[in-house]
């Protein structure tokens, strides 16, 4: 009998997050003949998004829709997940390696008595099983792992697996899963406070312009924001910059911050400490701008510019603006 892969679709501001389409992409790579793919969507008033998922070339969409699910709460979401797991009975559950996935996946794995592999950046068919690749030691090495028994749970790092396209006339069966919030909730979400300006979601951005202690002040970050605006990029930061109060901790990239894998990462005034590299070294192209030619960031950079960021970044901004306006970009 075929296996059932269940992907957990994340939403933000009434839209599917790109990682939702990437986890389905991962399930498509994993599924063989006779296997089925289902997507779970949890939230409030998510019917249009469930229809979008139904157009992803999958078999089923399981929907838990309730006002209490409007914001992520580990207790309500786990309760909704258990109802979905009972209905779908998956052999594998795929999450994004996001704040939600990192929190919910281990609970689901424990509930299913399943193994879990986290922070996967690639997957391949291997005989009658699957091989999952994940980075180790801040991306200095990779390991390949496989499960010896099911069911299993996997979290995928954003921006690594191919996202599926959605088509308007979805064929997947959409099932409403009855959900009642647990009576004895220990926590409730009172309010969601947005700190980052969040024009572009940092963890899903294709381009990140990141600043370190070399940016020297909160006003200095305006220089980076201008470059980010031109490139439609997200702004990130080192912990050095966050600790110095130049920007909010929600921008921190690294071991104790966010992990990003953009196509282009532009590091400005960042020395390249191992804890920072842990969050960005898997970026496809890394550009480093630093006054110090010996800065360790140059060891991981594809392109290095030795110079003062306050001279280099405005020049880059102007050149990108011109090139993109001419359609050369
Ligand atoms: P610095 O190391 O001070 O580097 C500033 C750089 O700017 C220098 O290389 C300098 O040459 C350059 N510079 C100065 N002026 C200019 C200019 N005008 N133009 C161009 N370049 C200039 N760090 C993280 O980033 N993320 C984490 O998640 C993280 N987690 C940590 C967890 C633990 C347990 C610990 C112990 C540390 C962690 N750190 C983390 C901190 C990390 O070790 C470094 O201290 C931090 O990354 C340094 O930030 P920085 O590169 O901005 O600052």
Task: Check pLDDT > 60 for residue 170.
Answer: yes
Predicted pLDDT at 195: 65
For ligand 1, pick from 290, 310, 313 the residue to mutate: most ligand atoms within 8 Å of CB: 290
Provide the pLDDT for residue 191: 87
Per-residue pLDDT tens digits for 52-84: 999 999 999 999 999 999 999 999 999 999 999
- Specify which residues 8 forms β-bridges with: 40
Percent of the chain clearing pLDDT 70 (strictly above): 98
* Protein residue closest via CA to atom 31 of ligand 1: 275
pLDDT of residue 1: 75
Q: Write out residues with Cβ below 6 Å of ligand 1.
A: 212-214, 238-241, 252-257, 269-271, 273, 275-276, 279, 289-292, 295, 308-310
Q: For residue 221, what pLDDT is reported?
A: 96
Q: Probe ligand 1: pick from 272, 273, 289, max atoms within 8 Å of CB?
A: 273
pLDDT tens digits for 211-264? 999 999 999 999 999 999 999 999 999 999 999 999 999 999 999 999 999 999
Ligand 1, atom nearest to 212 Cα? 52
Contact 247, 223 (CB under 8 A): no
Six-digit token pair at 57? 């070339």
**How many CA atoms within 13 Å lie on the side-chain side of 14?**
2
Contacts of 219 (CB under 8 A, 6+ apart): none
CA pair distance 174, 45, nearest whole angstrom? 14
Give the closest residue (by CA) to ligand 1 atom 11: 292
Give 3-state DSSP helix, strand, coil % of the chain, rounded to 5.
35, 25, 40
Q: How confident is the model over 3-37, as pLDDT tens digits?
A: 999 999 999 989 999 999 999 999 999 999 999 99
Q: What is the pTM of this model?
A: 0.84
Pair type for strands 285-290 and 303-306: parallel
Query: 193 C-alpha to center of ligand 1: Å?
Result: 27
Q: How far is the CA of 274 from the centre of ligand 1 (A)?
A: 9
Residue nearest to atom 28 of ligand 1 (CA): 254
Rounded Cα distance between 148 and 286, Å, is 37
Mean residue pLDDT of the chain comes to 94
User: pLDDT digit string (tens) for 291-324?
Assistant: 999 999 999 999 999 999 999 999 999 999 999 9
**39 burial level (CB within 10 Å; 0-12, 13-18, 19+):** buried
CA 309 to ligand 1: nearest atom: 19
What's the 235 CA to ligand 1 centre distance in angstroms? 16
Measured CA to CA, the distance from residue 7 to residue 26 in angstroms comes to 9
For the CA of 256, the nearest atom of ligand 1: 28
What would the 3-class secondary structure string for 250-293 be?
A: HHEECCCCECCCCCEEEEECCCCCHHHHHHHCCCCEEEEEECCC
């Amino acid at each position: 009998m075929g296996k059932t892969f269940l992907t957990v679709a994340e939403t933000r501001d009434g839209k599917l997050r790109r990682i939702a389409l990437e986890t389905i992409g991962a399930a498509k790579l994993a599924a063989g003949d006779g296997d089925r793919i289902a997507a779970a969507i949890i939230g409030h008033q998510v019917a249009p998004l469930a229809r979008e998922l139904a157009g992803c070339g999958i078999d089923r969409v399981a929907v838990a829709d309730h006002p209490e699910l409007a914001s992520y709460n580990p207790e309500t979401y786990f309760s909704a997940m258990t109802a979905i797991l009972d209905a779908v009975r998956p052999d594998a559950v795929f999450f994004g390696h996001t704040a939600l996935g990192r929190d919910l996946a281990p609970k689901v794995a424990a509930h299913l008595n399943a193994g879990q592999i986290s922070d996967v950046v690639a997957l391949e068919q291997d005989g009658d099983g699957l091989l999952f690749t994940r980075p180790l030691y801040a991306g200095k090495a990779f390991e390949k792992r496989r499960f010896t028994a099911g069911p299993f749970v996997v979290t995928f790092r954003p921006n690594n697996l191919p996202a599926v396209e959605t088509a308007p006339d979805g064929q997947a069966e959409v099932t409403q899963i009855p959900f009642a919030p647990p009576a004895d909730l220990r926590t409730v979400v009172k309010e969601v406070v947005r700190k980052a300006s969040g024009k572009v979601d940092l963890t899903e951005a294709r381009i990140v312009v990141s600043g370190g202690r070399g940016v020297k002040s909160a006003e200095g970050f305006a220089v980076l924001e201008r470059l980010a605006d031109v490139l439609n990029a997200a702004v990130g930061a080192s912990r050095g910059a966050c600790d110095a109060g130049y920007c909010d901790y929600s921008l921190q990239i690294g071991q104790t911050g966010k992990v990003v894998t953009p196509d282009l990462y532009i590091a400005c005034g960042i020395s390249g400490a191992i804890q920072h590299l842990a969050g960005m070294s898997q970026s496809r192209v890394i550009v480093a701008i630093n006054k110090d030619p010996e800065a360790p960031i140059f060891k991981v950079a594809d392109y290095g510019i030795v110079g003062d960021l306050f001279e280099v970044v405005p020049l880059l901004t102007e050149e990108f603006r011109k090139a993109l306006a001419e359609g050369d970009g």
